[in-house]
Structure 1
Amino acid sequence: MEILGYRRPDGKVGIRNHILIIPTSVCASTVAANIARQIPDAVALPNQHGCCQIGPDHLQTLRTLVGFGKNPNVAAVLVVGLGCEGIPIQETAAEIAASGKPIEVVIIQEIGGTLKAEAEGLRKASELVRQVSHQQPAKVDISELSLAIECGGSDFTSGLASNPAVGIAADLLVAAGGNVMLSETTEFIGAEHVLARRAKTPEVAEKLFKIVHDCEERAKYLNIDIRDGQPTPGNIAGGITSIEEKSLGCIYKAGHAPIQDVLQYGEIPKGKGLYVMDTPGQDIESITGMLAGGATIVIFTTGRGTPTGSPIAPVIKITANPRTFELMEDNIDLDASPIISGEETIEQVGNRIFEEIISVSNGRRTKAESLGYKEFGIYKIAPTY
């Protein structure tokens, strides 16, 4: 089976062709946004971090920014730095450049302020556009696709219908040789033993148990019961009664394939198949981690409804709640409620989702894309100092 994709210099394949402008700190974010506003097909990351971060937190922000630059949906990159931030500007650019794609750098303090930086950035970004403007998508095997699966604003229909249907689509992609990432460690709690049975090796199972344990321990360190925040008020209003119930519904999204490995936030998989990534339950931070890990398309199930998109990847929104689809049809791409009404089976809707993945991979715009929704947020794991 084939889709249309852009083959990058490092051999990876994207399904979109963005010019990405990466501010290395919040201090450079406005300049980056002003440049992107004037360049067709350019998008700037609204990075709110990048300075006064230490240890693993600093490394995670760096890994996320570099991962976005390397993402196959990105054709070329402009890095915009202030000049004194903690994230190393030239190192960030050099790591992205290792992927072989065109890259430029602008440093505000060195060039003489924001107005000069914007002018220089505009010049460099327009040159990047010209360098990649000849690129056209070509037929590639569907095994080149990397799928991120997410759920948010879940209700009782999520675990009963939309998540199991996504699991069918995930299995189809894994069987075709593609990548699938399951995230949201918070939503493994109480179901981690079920998920761990599918680990490829005992070592992978142990890694899965560890990320769940560490997630709970971080909450205990703050003298907080994680169940105060999970399920969320919206989940409870939607009929989910406990974190265990939410978790059992969440893991349906991963289908039945063996888990190849457990990845840290923003880590790129080393092979094909199903992977678990250690992310928070917060939707946007979770999706950001998977995109930094190389995902090129996102499936997002929701019971209550959400408009969430992404700066660099199409996000397909699915609900099995007929009322939500009626109220938020402008934002939801696929109606899975026929499962609830008995008009379709989980397998039938799963196949429809897989067909939608193919269609979007071939250029069809999702509703979030057509509306310009580009949410982005890096998961912080330590205080800012």
Structure 2
Amino acid sequence: MLKIPGYEDGPLVHGSAYLDDPLFWPVHLGSSLRGEDAQRAAFGADWDAAMELYRVLSSEREWPVFSVPLSSGHTIHVVYRNIEGDRGVDYLIHHPAWSAAETLAVDDGHFMGPGMAWPELLSAARQPATEGVDNPDARLLLLFPTLGDARLPDDAAVTLTTALAALTLIEEPADVASMLLENQGQWAPARWRLANGVRVNDGGHSYRNPSNAFALPGGRLREISNALDSRPTTVRQTSGCSSQLGKLGLLAGGGRADGDGEALGPGGPASCSPVFPVVPRTIWHASGTGGRLDSPDTALVTTALDTVSYGAYEHACWRAAKATLAESAGNSRRTMARFCVVMT
């Protein structure tokens, strides 16, 4: 049985088999398809078949779950909560370091949201994945019901139309896309802003509005904001870092380390600018200047810096890396530092 930490209400099962059914998508988007015109445009002559599919999806015996992994290590779980008299769809986000999943949005009669701004929806949809739901169009439509954004870009309808055309049999996907964007979620479209680098909104029913008494804690808000808006970037290293990298056994030029052939990052000329990709601070929590890491697959050097300049960051990062290697003498460097994490 599928398990989501902190969410043990029902018989969770993988729902990926439903994603190949073109009717699944208008059913899933149903709360934003209001009125006869919208339903006619989305379902056409397939209304009866769509209702039968809905009955299967809402069976109390199985609660379908669709998992959308993010590059940060977080996963968004879309859960069909099939409790008699209290059916709905819960949008949860979880990280392996958390004891329990957090709720982003709830799509039911007692709705909570929005959970995402448009840029975040687009980012989450386009992040690469090797497991769970990996199709960008499917990810976009799965997460669309969490959207509530009063400032949509001009090309939002085109993006949504493309996804609908790829995955459904809707005859006029552009018309349905426009209707969906006009009726985002069950809440009023919110205004989003960046507050100290954290994306928050003014929605009265949103867990991501820090003014609400039920809002997520500040640390979670920051972590979720970073995870949903995962944009690759790089840190430029200072002159002289080549020698420090050499002392650590980390070679900048070919993107290799310790002669074991393990890639450090993009190859290139033997310089330090740029070398390491910046990954979100929320992948690993800091535990002092440098910490010992046990995972051979995702070993990272962490620092306890919250806000630092690049120059200060670089020196602290190298000190942490050297300290980590020194403390782990006898362990294979394959299990040790491969990236420096900038704390944003």
TM over 0.5: no
TM-score range relative to shorter protein: under 0.3
Q: What's the TM-score, normalizing by structure 1?
A: 0.25
Bigger radius of gyration among the two: 2
Q: What's the TM-score, normalizing by structure 2?
A: 0.27
Q: Which has the higher contact order (CA 8 A, sep 6+)?
A: 1
